[in-house]
Amino acid sequence: MSIGLGTRFRVAMEDVFTHGAYFRTVEPDNDFDLVRARAADPQKRDKETGERLWVVTVLDGDPEARTAEVKVRIVDVHAEATSEKVAMGWHLDGRVSVVVGTHTHVQTADERILPEGTAYLTDLGMTGSYAGVIGMNKTDVIARFTSAIAKRAEHSSGQVRICAAVIDVDETTGHARSIERLNLGHEH
């Protein structure tokens, strides 16, 4: 059975967290474009109900979930600054299997295995069109930088690339054995 994109279905909290959950953080889910435009209320709204959307971080109340022996741990550092990602890689070396960065849309060429066994890559890069500016129509993006009035940028097309990394992790130790950066082009 397949579920169509955008299909809504209710899930009861007790079905997901059978032992309850502990809230860690609750933050508004803000629309990036509205934040940049300095809108008075940048918080996203539900498309059907109009209610505000929130990002909630929880800890599973199940004692087994917290003590389960997990060997392979993957961390995505979604940050703009390279220094933040590099620092997090060193901080987590040996404690997690993989640290990869995202956000800048530009793949870096610094993949390596850190001394304590963590695979590291500062930024995975973007999968999408490279015919524009980080996946957006270049004319629209340039207009945003050169004009006081600019429309929302449309997606670019053409020069499609897939950026990724293939990482081999030892499932018994959780240490990475290898990391290979992928940057594959496809024209249609």
Separation of alpha carbons 73 and 118, rounded Å = 10
- Supply the DSSP symbol for 161: E
In this predicted structure, the answer to whether residue 4 has a pLDDT above a threshold of 80 is no
Whole-number Cα distances in Å, 88 to 1, 13, 44, 72, 81: 40, 32, 29, 17, 11
Domain with CATH 3.60.21.10 in the chain: 69-188
pLDDT in tens, 70-95: 789 999 999 889 999 999 999 999 99
What is the pTM assigned to this prediction?
A: 0.63
Is domain 69-188 in CATH 3.60.21.10, yes or no? yes
Specify whether the CB–CB gap between 104 and 76 falls below 8 A: no
Specify whether the CB–CB gap between 130 and 103 falls below 8 A: no
